[in-house]
Chain A
Amino acid sequence: MEIGPIFSALRRNKVGALLIALQVALTLAIICNALFIINERLAFIARPSGIDEGNIFVIKNLWVGRGTDAENTSLLQTDLQTLRDLPGVADVYSTNTVPLTNGGWSDGVRLTADQEHSTTQTANYFVDEHALNTMDIKLIAGRNFKPEEITDRAERDSGLPDSMIVTQEFAQKMFPTESALGKVVYMEGKKPTTIIGIIDNLQVPWVGSWVKTWGYTSALIPQRMIRQNSAYVVRAKPGQLESTMKAAEAKLFAINPLRVIGSVRTFSEIRAKAYRGDRAMAILLSIVCGALLIITALGIVGLASFWVTQRRKQIGTRRALGATRLNIVSYFLTENLLISLAGVVLGIVLAVSLNLWLVNNFELTRLTWWYLPMGAVMILLLGQAAVLPPARRAASVPPAVATRSA
């Protein structure tokens, strides 16, 4: 294939070729960045919470009227016992919050009481000895809380108990070189707390960017929250989620109607709600990418068709001089490849600049390098596919066209 004649033909069609190259470049720049953002979102959404999501549901309960701490304690105990006695229930505990609900309690953790800046932030989950079993979380070191270690925490109480269970991420952040088990850290009120157990994984309640660096730094605090409102986390026996949810709500109202059940939601519903914005962003960008590829392809089809029409006479002449159909097709394919390659080179520069700009202005992460060749190959193939129909039409120009005058 002679590239020389293609070049000289292109020189006479500068603007058209330039427009396609520009379109290819912009498309590549947008697609690379958009696909990268989409993939990051999907990975973000897919992160595990660390609990047995398939069988868990959460009941948000609020007592009518503001009872005394003693009254609330007794109401809470009755509710928990009632739920535990339900046939479909594997285990239950009450808490202040659960992962992905975007509300909760965070605290700074220090290695010494007078350390100026905390080493890390942590999410505090107030739980009892049933929590690990309910969430189906495995201890990787140490032990679970004993029932007698669980204390009551009323609305305006302060200070943390002597012991807690932390996630592996918590342990590694605080004690990167040695085992955290049995170590003392300082949290609320600069009071020493001993780590008695380490669990594998438990996501913090928030999914926003502010928890980016400590998404799994969580602590289980052996305290029962005695308040007007609390969340009951229930694990249903396998396959009994739906029926247990209905039974639980009905039973709670039956034993005491003076309550508001804010919501009874499966963990899947909580997850879907937490990531709805991220999912929406991924869908939106996918649609933009899809539309962009279609537009670019159609643009190439349109311009190539026009060129074919414009060059009917030259094509006929070439055919008359012995060029095969394949020669004609490969002429247009090569022409498109040259234009697209120029576009791709410019596009890679644009993609990287766009990414750098996004990183600097919108707290995005750096583009992974292989999105560039991947996007380039994708767009080159798209160009070849788009130019193929007009090229085949060009190949079908009969050699006799050369002999006609107009």
Chain B
Amino acid sequence: MFSYYFSLAVRSLKRNPVITALMVAAIALGIGATMTVFTVFHVMSGDPIPSKSSRLFVPQIDNWGPKSHRDGDNEPADQLTYTDATALMRAHQGVRQAAMYAAGFSLTPENKDIKPFFVEARATYGDFFPMFETPFLFGQGWSSTEDEAKAAVVVLSKKTNDKLFAGINSVGKSINLDGRDYRVIGVLDTWEPAPRFYDVTGKTFGDTEEVFIPFTHAIDQQIGSHGNNSCNDDPKAGWENYLVSECVWIQFWIELPSAADAARYSAWLDNYAREQQRLGRFTWQPNNRVRDVQAWMVAEKVVPNDAKVSVLLAFSFLLVCLINTIGLMLAKFLGRSGEIGLRRALGANKAALFAQCIVESGVVGLAGGLIGVALTALGLVGIRGIFPEDIAHLAHLNVALILLTVALAVVATVLAGLYPTFRAMQVQPAWQLKSN
């Protein structure tokens, strides 16, 4: 029966090519625009580490107190001081934990054919790699032994290893950062979490760092942060003063066995703050936060309002296209009252008619959806042309999105076709036959 209705639908659509074309165009444009914008939104709001996002947490400590809050906002700073970060590392309350910050170096290759170049670096603890499940091509991350020894070891990104060592296993070789030699201990495979969740205070999207070095070593070598640094007071001159200052510049992540442990950790953190209060460092009640990955992305406004507003406007656009389709379909179905009346008179029941009309809507939706996929692909090419690279290179069409696009088109069109179908079913066979 379906194939019969399908052929009826195609024949009927061919009979009014202009209205059919208008309907398909409306659906295709609506779907194309909506899916283009949605794809960008989707990659921006995606879960960067789905396997663990409910077990990774960011602790926040209010080390500046109520005086630093403005406009009723009670949010503590989004980074930690060196004092708090090292205290939390020492306390070792989680399965894994890592303090970290962004750094930068000049890298001088041994191969004199390659000019020295700048590399973005991340100073962190060995737990960083297993905690964030970074894929390794060669070797592995460093252990707590290297952390404690402040060892001059380095993990390279795949890109850096390709550039310096033509992609071969470079574990055991050494590289020169700012005039100092570092032993390669591991090479990462391609690792592109989006958003770059572990440090959204700098760049939210884009490449991960080119080299990773132990945090303890970086501090020992007085390597300053290339990332966001906020002070509520003058830290006073010199590195030691900077370390004991209330400047916040360190990101901290902790892995807890389950989401339920976050409450326990939160209580522990409050105790820590109360202890600081007793020591006279804080003069206010604990005001801390412990957020998991998704809550952290929301708190840090990783998805800009712009992206949300454009998704909203795109879906409104789709709604207009669907209203448009309802009108055209109504015109089309009612224009066929004669034919419908004849079929009814010849014994077709309402269910059969309903099926036929729905199939016809579905065919329009399918055609619109398929063209919509093409338009979405085109739209994404356009997006890559106009958006900043870090976001643009994420916007790709995948199989799931294509299926979603077509499904959305068909479902939306069938829904749009319900009212016209209902009206078509009301056609009285006798009246139609009589009047014609």
Contact = CB atoms under 8 A, between A and B. Distances in A.
B237 A20 contact: no
B211 interface: no
Query: Looking at chain B's contact residues, is the secondary structure mostly helix, strand, loop, or mixed?
Result: helix
Interface string A109-152: 00000001100000000000000000000000000000000000
Point out which of A19, A34, A189 has the most chain B C-beta atoms below 10 A from its C-beta. A19
Contacts of B67: 116-117
B22 interface: yes
Contacts of A288: 33, 37, 310, 313-314, 317
A19 B116 CA distance: 66
Interface string A307-323: 10110000000000000
B320 A19 contact: no
Interface string A272-307: 010011011101110110011011101101110111
A96 interface: no
A260 interface: yes
B239 A156 contact: yes
Contact of B323 (A19, A33, A62, A190): A19
A276 B178 CA distance: 33
Contact of B387 (A229, A262, A276): A276
A4 interface: no
A2 interface: no
Interface residues of B, number: 62
A22 B323 contact: yes
Contacts of A284: 37, 310, 383, 386
B334 to A, nearest CB: 8
A12 to B, nearest CB: 12
B138 interface: no
Chain A interface mostly: helix
A14 to B, nearest CB: 11
A302 B328 contact: yes
Contacts of A29: 316
A35 to B, nearest CB: 11
Interface stretch (A51-59, A167-175, A358-366): A358-366
B256 interface: no
B80 to A, nearest CB: 19
Nearest to B335: A306
Interface of A: 15-16, 19-20, 22-23, 26-27, 29-30, 33-34, 37, 62-66, 116-117, 155-159, 188-191, 228-229, 258-260, 262, 273, 276-277, 279-281, 283-285, 287-288, 291-292, 294-296, 298-299, 301-303, 305-307, 309-310, 358, 362-364, 406
7 contacts: A63-B106, A64-B116, A66-B178, A158-B234, A288-B33, A295-B29, A309-B335
Given A259-B116, A281-B310, A287-B33, 13 more contacts: A15-B330, A15-B423, A26-B323, A37-B309, A65-B179, A155-B224, A156-B241, A260-B115, A288-B314, A292-B320, A306-B328, A306-B331, A307-B331
